[in-house]
Amino acid sequence: MTTQPLPDGLSPDAIDTLTELTTILAKLRAAQAAASATSTNHASSLLGQLGATPAPAPGAVTGTTPLPSGAPNTNATTLTIKELPAATDNLKHKLQRARAAVKKLEDVGRGFEQQQDEIRELEARQAQQLAMLERIRLAGVQFTAGEQGKVEDEGERMVE
């Protein structure tokens, strides 16, 4: 079996969607956090004018509590729900290109049994190669031992 090169456009960078998705979600979350902080601050100021202080619900996120983020926000821009489809267009196109590139691969339609057969063939071939290497190693050891004996025999001879 020969391995085929990857088609053009199919590389780890071409199918890396997690980085892009994380960035989009971080921007969306930042916008929601900003909106939450603004509404909480507005409500606090209204209640402050009335002389009351708001009590946050248990487990609620207050305006001063930062939302946890899975990735650092390298881009300070925010993203609204209305902007989400446009922001995910590049991600959708990247997935479509990767899907098309994978479909071009020759062995993509092979079944499980065919793959298992190939694995068995490769394992048998590997065992044959290991056995050959062991025979070569033993022949090398015997050859080296024979050369050592030959040198010792020549050293004891008298030359006339």
Whether this prediction's pTM lies above 0.75 is answered by: no
Tens-digit pLDDT profile for residues 105-136: 877 788 999 999 999 999 999 999 999 999 99
- Judge contact between 101 and 9, C-beta under 8 A: yes
pLDDT of 103 reads 83
pLDDT: which is higher, 7 or 147: 147
* Burial class of residue 134 (count of CB atoms within 10 Å of its CB; 0-12, 13-18, 19+): exposed
Per-residue pLDDT at 43 exceeds 80: no
Kindly indicate the confidence band of residue 154, based on its pLDDT and cuts at 50, 70 and 90: low
Look at residue 116 in the predicted model and tell me its pLDDT.
95
Check pLDDT > 80 for residue 40: no
Q: Give the model confidence (pLDDT) of 67-101 as tens digits.
A: 444 444 444 488 888 888 998 998 899 889 888 88
Q: What's residue 44's pLDDT?
A: 56
Q: How far apart are CA 52 and CA 44, in angstroms?
A: 9
Whether 10 shows a pLDDT value over 50: the answer reads yes
H helices of the chain, where?
18-50, 84-87, 89-103, 112-156
Domain extents for the chain?
18-109, 110-160
